[in-house]
Chains A and B, each alone.
Chain A
Amino acid sequence: MSEVLILGEVKEGSLDLKSLELLGAGKKLAGELGGEVSLLLMGASVTKAADEAISHGPAKVYKMEHPLLEGFKPDLWVAALEQACRKIGPKVFLMGHSFVGMEVAPRLSARLNSRLTTDCIDLAIDPEDSLLLRTKPVSGGNAISVFKFQGEPQLATVRAKVFAAAEPDDAVGGMEEITPEIDESMIKVESLEIVEEESVALDKASVVVAGGAGLGEEDGFELLEELAETLGESFDNVMIGCSRVAVDKGWISSDHQVGLTGTMISPDIYVAVGISGAIQHLVGMVHAKKIIAVNTDKSCNMFKVADYGIVEDYEDVIPALIEKLEELS
């Protein structure tokens, strides 16, 4: 019996590592429920990913393959997922809070008539009624709420990097194939083209130099670029980040945005220049190992989460810093 079902994701044929985090969460919940965890994989071909997953402890891997599941067509994925959920009948169904999860989970909630909680940072089973306790940050991270709803399957999407990945184990589960009944007539939204854009993979940066409203003008980012370049001589993967205000003002593109509606990051070093620290920004970077803040306002929130602070005008201190770094490196 598959009490807990996980939607795994496949990236370039292989199991996406975030799926192992979901599996880790699923194992914990299955333990609390006294049941088993299974993994569902869908796509045109998921054999390789299924082989990778099976050694990480799911009791079963469900393979749902179909030529029309090539690429991510939400209408077909939602239809296939609904069929899989009805067939497998899990008590709990977890998806990643990923691009795919954010699209399919609400639609599945509507079709299965079951409440969903998105972006969970913790999950547990209430021992009294066996319902899923879904913990998520709300009000821009100002509060942490635990939700509980009736109905099955219990649906949640899970934030990346909060659960430890499932370790490989000796027990090897079984595989089962599920054939979805889907066809092209189910596609209501037609894909015309995919335009690839170079984007900034901020979550891969080890050092982020970020600017906000306090820069006062677009040109401020040129100074930050210079600093990033200098730091690049001593550190790998130095990138430019920013607050929402900087994006709203049109100073920089949104793929640089750090925070709740931007990218959530935990680099080795975060340098916040002219960012006062709205809570929605703080939740996106507060897990950086070291935080350095430069701001003219000593009372701003950013200094409350920083390890090192300089209360000066950035236009004075950043050029001086670049000079000193060049001397030292």
Chain B
Amino acid sequence: MTDIKIIVCAKQIPDPEAPLSDVSVDAENMEVIVDAPLVISPFDENALEVAVQLKEAAGGKITVLSLGKKVSDTVLRKTIAAGADELILLQDDQFEKLDSYSTATALADAARKIGDYDLVLTGRQAGDWDSGQVGLILGEMLALPCISMARAISVEDGSVVVEKNIPEGYERVKAQMPALITVSNEVGELRYISRTKMLKMMRGARKIPTWNAEDIGVSSDALRKMGIAALSSPPDMGRDCQFFEGSVDDQAEKLAEVFMGLK
């Protein structure tokens, strides 16, 4: 056993699989309004899953960090049910709608406050703004070896060996810990958490620590909001669909003729 200490950064977002009809754009206030339940960003769930696998293999401790103006602990408690040891909410009015660089700045300060860690894991990109920046910027700010797009992670003798996606296939790379790794979906979906376990977790009197900007020592000068100059709905992608009629055979025949016409 080589006890490994892992920080997982998890972002809370509106469910990205929500149907189109649940999404609207408020151009005036420059906000995307999604009428969908909050979830943990999918790639961050992948990061947590691989963290739990590593902990199971080597022993250790998982700390989940989630940052926002207001973070719902009911959503994030799932991480504890899945196997995280500690959940810390980074909450402050100043954390509202931060740009990637500022988010990474605050996460870096939180990681420094935690101090002792072997791995920092993030999802490869968030499921709302799809920016794919925070992980690597965070790694640079903490001066850690940075590995992106991990599809498998293993730990041996103070080093981490990662299979990372590359266009040709994958590359096996190795770095000394501590290291920063951004995680892709191939590591597997977050394990299933039974309702009973979830409910038990909700009822638990466990206190979830909350750190604000002052607690982590991030200066307000370092925090900038996303500079949105304009926001609009996407252009209409609609076409007039021609539905075929008649029996299955009739419809298949008409479609086959369409194909032949496109040859």
Contacts and interface: CB of A to CB of B under 8 A. Distances in A.
Interface of A: 74-75, 99, 102-103, 105-107, 109-111, 113, 115-119, 126, 133, 137-150, 188-197, 199, 231, 234-235, 247-248, 254, 260-261, 268-269, 277-280, 282-283, 286, 290-293, 298, 301, 303-312, 316-317, 320-321, 323-325, 327-329
Interface string B249-263: 101110111111011
Contact of A147 (B145, B168, B173, B229): B229
B230 A146 contact: yes
Interface of B: 16-17, 19-20, 23, 25, 30, 32, 34, 99-101, 104, 125, 127-137, 139-141, 144-148, 161, 163, 166-176, 179, 185-186, 189, 224, 226-235, 237-244, 248-249, 251-253, 255-260, 262-263
B256 A328 contact: yes
Contact of B161 (A103, A109, A143, A192): A192
A69 to B, nearest CB: 17
Contact of B140 (A107, A194, A320, A325): A107
B16 A140 contact: yes
5 contacts: A117-B131, A139-B23, A143-B23, A317-B248, A328-B257
A324 B252 contact: yes
A302 B206 CA distance: 45
Given A144-B231, A260-B130, A306 B241 contact: yes
Given A140-B130, A286-B237, 16 more contacts: A75-B146, A109-B100, A110-B136, A143-B231, A143-B233, A143-B234, A144-B233, A188-B175, A191-B171, A194-B166, A194-B171, A280-B16, A301-B19, A304-B237, A309-B244, A320-B253
B255 A103 contact: no
B130 A320 contact: no
Nearest to A302: B241
B20 A142 contact: yes
A145 B231 contact: yes
Given A188-B175, A278-B17, A320 B186 contact: no
Contacts of A118: 130-133
Given A99-B167, A106-B100, A149-B99, A310 B251 contact: yes
Contact of A195 (B101, B136, B171, B228): B171
B129 A138 contact: yes
A75 B241 CA distance: 50
Contacts of A149: 99, 224, 227
B101 A115 contact: yes
A325 B254 CA distance: 10
A93 B53 CA distance: 40
Given A146-B231, A234-B263, A310 B255 contact: yes
Contact of A304 (B133, B226, B238): B238
Contacts of A298: 243
Nearest to B257: A328
Contact of B263 (A199, A235, A324): A235
A292 B170 contact: no
Contacts of B257: 328
Given A110-B136, A111-B140, A231-B259, A308 B244 contact: yes
Contact of B262 (A191, A260, A261, A269): A269
Contacts of B128: 138-140
B146 A144 contact: no
